[in-house]
Amino acid sequence: MNTQNKKIVNLIADIGGTNIRIAQADAQSEAKYTNIETYQCAKFSSLADVIALYIESKNIAEAGINACLAIACPTDNDIISMTNLPWQFSQKELIKTLNLNSLSMINDYTAIAMAIPLLNDSQKVKIGGGEAVAGKPISVCGPGTGLGVANLIPITIGDKSQWHCVSGEGGHVDFAPVGELEIAVLRYLNDIKERVSYEQLLSGYGIEQIYQSLANKGDDEEEAPLSAQEISKRGIEKTCIICRQTMLIFCQALGGFAGNLALIMNSQGGVYIAGGIVPRFIDFLKASKFRERFESKGRLSHITQQAPTYVITEAQPGLLGAAAYILQQ
Protein backbone atom coordinates (compact mmCIF):
# COMPACT_ATOMS: atom_id res chain seq x y z
CA MET A 1 0.00 0.00 0.00
CA ASN A 2 1.23 3.52 -0.83
CA THR A 3 2.14 5.31 2.41
CA GLN A 4 0.38 8.47 1.25
CA ASN A 5 -2.89 6.56 0.89
CA LYS A 6 -2.75 4.96 4.33
CA LYS A 7 -5.36 5.79 6.94
CA ILE A 8 -3.70 7.83 9.70
CA VAL A 9 -4.30 6.77 13.31
CA ASN A 10 -3.21 8.83 16.32
CA LEU A 11 -2.56 6.23 19.00
CA ILE A 12 -2.27 7.43 22.61
CA ALA A 13 -1.49 5.70 25.88
CA ASP A 14 -1.31 6.47 29.60
CA ILE A 15 1.24 4.08 31.09
CA GLY A 16 1.26 3.50 34.83
CA GLY A 17 2.89 0.97 37.09
CA THR A 18 -0.27 -1.15 37.33
CA ASN A 19 -2.36 -0.44 34.24
CA ILE A 20 -1.85 0.87 30.73
CA ARG A 21 -4.72 2.59 28.97
CA ILE A 22 -4.57 2.81 25.18
CA ALA A 23 -6.92 4.74 22.89
CA GLN A 24 -7.06 6.72 19.66
CA ALA A 25 -7.02 10.52 19.59
CA ASP A 26 -9.94 11.99 17.70
CA ALA A 27 -10.43 15.74 17.23
CA GLN A 28 -14.09 15.17 16.35
CA SER A 29 -14.93 13.23 19.52
CA GLU A 30 -16.26 15.17 22.49
CA ALA A 31 -13.91 13.19 24.75
CA LYS A 32 -11.03 13.75 22.25
CA TYR A 33 -10.30 10.02 22.31
CA THR A 34 -12.09 6.79 21.33
CA ASN A 35 -11.57 3.01 21.38
CA ILE A 36 -10.12 2.93 24.90
CA GLU A 37 -8.79 -0.36 26.27
CA THR A 38 -7.18 -1.05 29.65
CA TYR A 39 -4.53 -3.72 30.18
CA GLN A 40 -2.76 -4.99 33.30
CA CYS A 41 0.94 -4.35 32.92
CA ALA A 42 1.95 -7.41 34.95
CA LYS A 43 0.51 -9.70 32.28
CA PHE A 44 2.97 -8.47 29.63
CA SER A 45 6.74 -8.75 29.35
CA SER A 46 7.16 -5.46 27.47
CA LEU A 47 5.41 -2.28 26.41
CA ALA A 48 5.73 -3.32 22.76
CA ASP A 49 3.72 -6.48 23.46
CA VAL A 50 0.80 -4.51 24.92
CA ILE A 51 0.64 -1.97 22.12
CA ALA A 52 1.02 -4.68 19.48
CA LEU A 53 -1.99 -6.48 20.97
CA TYR A 54 -4.04 -3.27 20.85
CA ILE A 55 -3.03 -2.60 17.23
CA GLU A 56 -4.01 -6.14 16.26
CA SER A 57 -7.31 -6.08 18.15
CA LYS A 58 -8.34 -2.79 16.50
CA ASN A 59 -7.27 -3.90 13.01
CA ILE A 60 -5.07 -0.87 12.47
CA ALA A 61 -1.79 -2.61 11.62
CA GLU A 62 -2.00 -1.38 8.03
CA ALA A 63 -2.62 2.23 9.07
CA GLY A 64 -0.01 4.94 9.41
CA ILE A 65 0.29 5.21 13.18
CA ASN A 66 1.48 8.30 15.05
CA ALA A 67 1.85 7.54 18.75
CA CYS A 68 1.97 9.71 21.87
CA LEU A 69 2.71 7.77 25.04
CA ALA A 70 2.48 9.34 28.50
CA ILE A 71 4.64 7.57 31.06
CA ALA A 72 5.51 8.12 34.72
CA CYS A 73 9.27 8.46 34.34
CA PRO A 74 11.83 10.71 32.61
CA THR A 75 11.55 10.70 28.81
CA ASP A 76 14.57 12.79 27.75
CA ASN A 77 16.76 9.85 26.65
CA ASP A 78 16.27 7.15 24.04
CA ILE A 79 16.35 4.40 26.68
CA ILE A 80 13.27 4.47 28.92
CA SER A 81 13.39 2.59 32.24
CA MET A 82 10.15 2.41 34.19
CA THR A 83 10.36 2.96 37.93
CA ASN A 84 7.70 0.48 39.05
CA LEU A 85 7.95 -2.10 36.26
CA PRO A 86 10.78 -4.21 34.83
CA TRP A 87 10.17 -2.60 31.44
CA GLN A 88 13.10 -1.01 29.64
CA PHE A 89 13.05 -0.09 25.98
CA SER A 90 14.58 2.09 23.30
CA GLN A 91 12.30 4.65 21.70
CA LYS A 92 14.01 4.11 18.35
CA GLU A 93 13.55 0.35 18.59
CA LEU A 94 9.90 0.76 19.61
CA ILE A 95 9.26 2.75 16.42
CA LYS A 96 10.80 -0.05 14.35
CA THR A 97 9.10 -2.90 16.22
CA LEU A 98 5.63 -1.39 15.94
CA ASN A 99 6.21 0.17 12.50
CA LEU A 100 5.19 3.63 13.70
CA ASN A 101 5.21 6.78 11.59
CA SER A 102 6.23 8.81 14.66
CA LEU A 103 6.54 8.51 18.42
CA SER A 104 6.26 11.18 21.13
CA MET A 105 7.13 10.05 24.65
CA ILE A 106 5.93 12.52 27.27
CA ASN A 107 5.98 12.59 31.07
CA ASP A 108 2.67 11.75 32.73
CA TYR A 109 2.39 15.25 34.23
CA THR A 110 3.01 16.82 30.85
CA ALA A 111 -0.05 14.88 29.70
CA ILE A 112 -2.14 15.95 32.69
CA ALA A 113 -1.14 19.60 32.15
CA MET A 114 -2.03 19.41 28.45
CA ALA A 115 -5.48 18.11 29.39
CA ILE A 116 -6.37 21.17 31.47
CA PRO A 117 -7.43 23.57 28.66
CA LEU A 118 -9.85 20.87 27.43
CA LEU A 119 -11.61 20.33 30.78
CA ASN A 120 -15.25 21.34 31.07
CA ASP A 121 -17.12 22.15 34.28
CA SER A 122 -18.06 18.50 34.83
CA GLN A 123 -14.40 17.47 34.79
CA LYS A 124 -13.19 19.82 37.53
CA VAL A 125 -14.37 21.32 40.82
CA LYS A 126 -13.55 24.88 41.82
CA ILE A 127 -12.21 25.46 45.34
CA GLY A 128 -12.75 28.99 46.66
CA GLY A 129 -12.61 32.29 44.79
CA GLY A 130 -10.56 33.77 41.99
CA GLU A 131 -11.29 33.96 38.28
CA ALA A 132 -9.13 32.56 35.49
CA VAL A 133 -7.62 35.00 33.01
CA ALA A 134 -7.57 33.65 29.45
CA GLY A 135 -4.15 33.19 27.88
CA LYS A 136 -2.26 33.24 31.19
CA PRO A 137 -0.02 30.49 32.64
CA ILE A 138 -1.59 27.47 34.31
CA SER A 139 0.00 25.27 36.99
CA VAL A 140 -0.85 21.75 38.15
CA CYS A 141 0.35 19.67 41.07
CA GLY A 142 -0.75 16.23 42.10
CA PRO A 143 -0.23 14.32 45.35
CA GLY A 144 -0.16 10.60 44.63
CA THR A 145 2.68 8.12 44.84
CA GLY A 146 4.84 11.26 44.70
CA LEU A 147 4.11 14.94 44.06
CA GLY A 148 3.95 15.74 40.35
CA VAL A 149 4.22 19.31 39.06
CA ALA A 150 3.93 20.90 35.62
CA ASN A 151 3.11 24.29 34.10
CA LEU A 152 1.46 25.43 30.87
CA ILE A 153 2.65 28.50 29.01
CA PRO A 154 0.64 29.97 26.10
CA ILE A 155 2.73 30.45 22.96
CA THR A 156 2.07 31.56 19.39
CA ILE A 157 3.75 29.89 16.43
CA GLY A 158 3.00 31.76 13.22
CA ASP A 159 -0.67 32.59 13.55
CA LYS A 160 -1.44 29.55 15.71
CA SER A 161 -1.93 29.83 19.48
CA GLN A 162 -1.13 26.72 21.49
CA TRP A 163 0.16 25.51 24.84
CA HIS A 164 3.71 24.58 25.78
CA CYS A 165 4.30 22.46 28.89
CA VAL A 166 7.22 23.18 31.21
CA SER A 167 7.69 20.19 33.49
CA GLY A 168 10.24 19.55 36.20
CA GLU A 169 10.65 18.19 39.71
CA GLY A 170 8.83 20.91 41.64
CA GLY A 171 7.55 18.44 44.22
CA HIS A 172 11.08 18.12 45.57
CA VAL A 173 11.55 21.75 46.63
CA ASP A 174 12.21 22.32 50.34
CA PHE A 175 9.21 22.11 52.64
CA ALA A 176 8.49 25.44 54.40
CA PRO A 177 6.35 24.96 57.54
CA VAL A 178 3.83 27.52 58.76
CA GLY A 179 2.72 27.39 62.40
CA GLU A 180 3.76 25.28 65.37
CA LEU A 181 2.19 22.02 64.23
CA GLU A 182 3.93 22.06 60.85
CA ILE A 183 7.19 23.02 62.54
CA ALA A 184 6.75 19.96 64.79
CA VAL A 185 6.19 17.79 61.69
CA LEU A 186 9.37 19.19 60.14
CA ARG A 187 11.38 18.50 63.30
CA TYR A 188 10.17 14.90 63.34
CA LEU A 189 11.03 14.38 59.67
CA ASN A 190 14.41 16.08 60.08
CA ASP A 191 15.32 13.34 62.55
CA ILE A 192 14.56 10.52 60.10
CA LYS A 193 15.24 12.11 56.69
CA GLU A 194 18.32 13.58 55.10
CA ARG A 195 16.19 16.33 53.57
CA VAL A 196 12.51 17.26 53.78
CA SER A 197 10.76 18.23 50.55
CA TYR A 198 7.08 18.98 50.00
CA GLU A 199 6.71 15.46 48.59
CA GLN A 200 7.55 14.14 52.08
CA LEU A 201 4.14 15.51 53.16
CA LEU A 202 2.09 15.83 49.96
CA SER A 203 1.88 12.20 48.85
CA GLY A 204 0.48 8.91 50.08
CA TYR A 205 3.48 8.17 52.25
CA GLY A 206 3.50 11.87 53.18
CA ILE A 207 0.11 11.47 54.85
CA GLU A 208 1.54 8.53 56.79
CA GLN A 209 4.56 10.59 57.85
CA ILE A 210 2.44 13.52 59.04
CA TYR A 211 0.37 11.08 61.06
CA GLN A 212 3.45 9.42 62.55
CA SER A 213 4.89 12.78 63.59
CA LEU A 214 1.67 13.69 65.42
CA ALA A 215 1.17 10.25 66.96
CA ASN A 216 4.70 10.21 68.31
CA LYS A 217 4.14 13.64 69.81
CA GLY A 218 1.17 12.79 72.03
CA ASP A 219 -0.30 10.13 74.30
CA ASP A 220 -2.83 8.80 71.79
CA GLU A 221 -0.41 6.91 69.57
CA GLU A 222 -2.05 4.12 67.59
CA GLU A 223 -0.96 0.58 68.43
CA ALA A 224 -0.31 -0.28 64.78
CA PRO A 225 0.77 1.87 61.82
CA LEU A 226 -2.03 3.12 59.62
CA SER A 227 -1.99 3.36 55.84
CA ALA A 228 -2.66 6.65 54.05
CA GLN A 229 -6.07 5.34 53.01
CA GLU A 230 -6.98 4.43 56.61
CA ILE A 231 -5.72 7.77 57.92
CA SER A 232 -7.68 9.79 55.35
CA LYS A 233 -10.85 7.73 55.92
CA ARG A 234 -10.72 8.10 59.72
CA GLY A 235 -9.81 11.76 59.46
CA ILE A 236 -12.63 12.64 57.11
CA GLU A 237 -15.16 10.60 59.08
CA LYS A 238 -13.95 12.25 62.35
CA THR A 239 -13.36 8.90 64.05
CA CYS A 240 -9.75 9.70 65.00
CA ILE A 241 -8.49 13.06 66.28
CA ILE A 242 -4.90 12.52 65.11
CA CYS A 243 -6.06 11.36 61.66
CA ARG A 244 -8.26 14.44 61.32
CA GLN A 245 -5.41 16.72 62.32
CA THR A 246 -3.19 14.91 59.81
CA MET A 247 -5.60 15.60 56.97
CA LEU A 248 -6.03 19.24 57.99
CA ILE A 249 -2.24 19.72 57.92
CA PHE A 250 -2.09 17.96 54.55
CA CYS A 251 -4.71 20.32 53.09
CA GLN A 252 -3.05 23.42 54.53
CA ALA A 253 0.40 22.42 53.27
CA LEU A 254 -1.09 21.67 49.85
CA GLY A 255 -2.67 25.13 49.79
CA GLY A 256 0.66 26.76 50.66
CA PHE A 257 2.50 24.76 48.00
CA ALA A 258 -0.13 25.50 45.32
CA GLY A 259 0.07 29.19 46.23
CA ASN A 260 3.84 29.07 45.78
CA LEU A 261 3.31 27.72 42.26
CA ALA A 262 0.93 30.61 41.54
CA LEU A 263 3.58 33.10 42.64
CA ILE A 264 6.41 31.44 40.71
CA MET A 265 4.48 31.17 37.43
CA ASN A 266 1.97 34.02 37.93
CA SER A 267 -0.63 31.33 37.27
CA GLN A 268 -3.59 33.58 36.54
CA GLY A 269 -5.01 30.82 34.36
CA GLY A 270 -5.49 28.78 37.52
CA VAL A 271 -3.77 26.21 39.70
CA TYR A 272 -5.10 22.66 39.37
CA ILE A 273 -4.85 19.73 41.78
CA ALA A 274 -4.52 16.30 40.15
CA GLY A 275 -3.43 12.88 41.40
CA GLY A 276 -5.30 10.01 42.97
CA ILE A 277 -5.60 11.33 46.54
CA VAL A 278 -7.41 14.68 46.68
CA PRO A 279 -10.43 13.87 44.44
CA ARG A 280 -11.53 11.44 47.16
CA PHE A 281 -12.23 14.21 49.71
CA ILE A 282 -13.13 17.39 47.83
CA ASP A 283 -15.72 18.53 50.39
CA PHE A 284 -13.16 18.14 53.18
CA LEU A 285 -10.66 20.18 51.16
CA LYS A 286 -13.24 22.92 50.64
CA ALA A 287 -13.94 23.10 54.39
CA SER A 288 -10.23 23.10 55.30
CA LYS A 289 -7.82 26.05 55.25
CA PHE A 290 -6.52 25.03 51.81
CA ARG A 291 -7.71 28.19 50.07
CA GLU A 292 -6.79 30.43 53.01
CA ARG A 293 -3.22 29.17 52.88
CA PHE A 294 -3.19 29.42 49.09
CA GLU A 295 -4.07 33.11 49.28
CA SER A 296 -1.98 34.00 52.34
CA LYS A 297 1.16 35.35 50.66
CA GLY A 298 1.69 38.64 52.46
CA ARG A 299 1.95 41.76 50.30
CA LEU A 300 1.63 39.61 47.14
CA SER A 301 -1.63 37.99 48.25
CA HIS A 302 -3.47 39.87 45.50
CA ILE A 303 -1.83 37.50 42.98
CA THR A 304 -3.10 34.34 44.67
CA GLN A 305 -6.49 35.87 45.50
CA GLN A 306 -7.02 36.42 41.77
CA ALA A 307 -5.90 32.92 40.74
CA PRO A 308 -8.61 30.23 40.91
CA THR A 309 -7.95 26.72 42.20
CA TYR A 310 -9.54 23.51 40.92
CA VAL A 311 -9.49 19.78 41.60
CA ILE A 312 -9.42 17.69 38.42
CA THR A 313 -12.15 15.03 38.47
CA GLU A 314 -11.74 13.78 34.89
CA ALA A 315 -11.20 10.01 35.09
CA GLN A 316 -8.61 9.85 32.29
CA PRO A 317 -6.58 13.09 32.33
CA GLY A 318 -3.50 11.27 31.02
CA LEU A 319 -5.29 10.06 27.88
CA LEU A 320 -7.01 13.41 27.40
CA GLY A 321 -3.66 15.21 27.65
CA ALA A 322 -1.90 12.78 25.32
CA ALA A 323 -4.70 13.39 22.83
CA ALA A 324 -4.31 17.16 23.23
CA TYR A 325 -0.54 16.86 22.75
CA ILE A 326 -0.65 14.79 19.56
CA LEU A 327 -3.57 16.72 18.03
CA GLN A 328 -1.69 19.99 18.61
CA GLN A 329 1.36 18.76 16.69
For helices 47-57 and 91-98, the axis angle rounded to 10 degrees is 30
Residue 49 known to bind ligand: no
Residue 255 known to bind ligand: no
At residue 86, φ and ψ (nearest 5 deg) are -80, 40
3-state helix, strand, coil in the chain (%, to 5): 45, 25, 35
Indicate the SS3 state at residue 143: strand
Residue type for position 208 = E
Residue 129 known to bind ligand: no
Question: How far, in Å, CA of 214 to CA of 274, rounded?
Answer: 26
Q: Which among 98, 89, 108, 148 is positioned nearest to 273, based on CA atoms?
A: 148
Residue 14 known to bind ligand: yes
Residue 17 known to bind ligand: yes
What distances in angstroms separate CA 52 from CA 25, 55, 190, one per listed residue?
17, 5, 48
Residue 18 known to bind ligand: yes
Which residues are known binding-site members? 13-18
Which residues are known binding-site members for ATP? 13-18
